[in-house]
Amino acid sequence: MTAGQGIEQRLAQGPVLGAEGYVFELERRGYIKAGPYVPEVVLDFPDAVRELHREFLRAGAEVMVALTYYAHREKLRHVGRENDLEEMNRHAVRLAREVAREGGALVAGNVCNTWTYDPADPATSATVRAQYTEQLGWALDEGVDFVISETNDYLGEALIALEVSRELGLPAMVTLASTQPDTTRDGYDYVEACRILADHGAAVVGLNCDRGPVTMLPLLERIRAAVDCAVAAQPVPYRTSPAMPTMESLRADGVDRVFPLALEPFSCTRFDMAAFAAAARDLGVNYIGVCCGGAPHHVRSMAEALGRQVPASKYAPAMELHPILGVAGTATEANVLAAWNVAG
C-alpha cells in the first residue's frame, strides 16, 4: 500500500483486498443483536469495533470500512436510538480512521439498502436521498477516502447512493445484492445494472453478500466482460450451490431456518476463500473481499492466495510442527494414526 493514493490509484496497481462481515462477526461475539442488526456496538463497545478493524488490517485488508451499515435513520428508529444517529455515524468513521493509520489503509464510508425504497412511490426516493445525504455528509466531515454503497436490492436505490456520493466529490464503489436468481428487485439484469452504474460514474461496480463463491463467480465473469471500470466481489463465506444459490436459500434437515443463525454447517473454509480470491483475480476482479460471515482467518488466507505476506502471516499454520499430524509426529501406533487420519 502506498500512502497518499486513493482507491482508483490503488486499484490500477493490482487487486485491492477488502474485508467486511463486521455485523455477523460482532453478533457472534455478543455485541450486535441479530434481527435488527443495528451497529449499536459503535457507541456501546467501541473497543470491540476497534479490535475487529485491527484484526482485519493485520490479516491484509487494505480498506477499513466504517461500521455504518444499518446506521441510518430508519433502522435506528426501530431500536429507539434515533437520537444517536449522528454520533454513531461520526464515531464509526473515527474508529476506522484510527486503525487505518496503523497500516496505511484507506477508509470507506458506508451506506446500504434502507428497506424504505419503493420504485412505485417517488416519495421514498426523497427519503432515501435524505438518509444517504446525512450519513455521507458526516462521513465526509470525519474524513473518508471513498464510499462503499452495498447490498443494494434495487438499482434505483443504488443510483441514489451513487448520485449523493458524486455530489459530495467522493469516488463510489456500488455493489448489488444478488438475492434473486437473475435480476434486481426493480427488474434489471445484474450485468445490465452494473453497466448502468458504471455509465453513471461509479468507480467500482459489482456484487456483495447473499451468494457464496461458487454461485457468485459465474455472474462476476459476465460483469467483468460488460464494464470497463473496476469490478468488486465480496461473497458470503458459505457453500451455496446452483440448487441453493444464496445463503438465504440454504436448507438443512432438521433445521427450520438456516439463515441467519444456523449457517455454520455451510461455512467456507479458509481454503475455499483462498481459492475464490485466486479465481476472482484470474477473472480480472479488482476489489476482492468477503461479506457477512467473513472473519480474519478468511482474509489472511485470501491475502496469501494473492501472493502477499501480511502481519498475521507470522502466525499462519505450521502443521509440520503438529505433534501428531506433523513430520515430527511421535505417534507410531496404527490405531492412533488411524484416529487422526494419518497414513501409517
Question: Per-block average pLDDT, block size 10, for the chain (344 residues)?
Answer: 80 97 97 97 98 98 98 93 97 98 98 96 97 98 98 98 98 98 98 98 98 98 98 98 98 96 98 98 98 98 98 95 80 81 75
Question: pLDDT at position 323, please?
Answer: 86
* Other CB atoms within 10 Å distance of the CB of residue 8: 14
Grid cell, residue 336, equals 492412533
* Other CB atoms within 10 Å distance of the CB of residue 74: 14
Whose CA is closest to 303, among 61, 107, 64? 61
pTM: 0.96
CA 255 – CA 233 distance, rounded (Å): 29
Cβ-contact 213, 221 below 8 angstroms: no
Whose CA is closest to 93, among 55, 34, 137, 126? 137
End-to-end C-alpha distance for the chain, whole angstroms: 46
Q: Which long-range contacts (CB under 8 A, 24 or more apart) does 48-54 make?
A: 49/22, 49/92, 49/95, 50/95, 50/98, 50/99, 52/22, 52/25, 52/26, 53/95, 53/96, 53/98, 53/99, 53/100, 54/99, 54/102
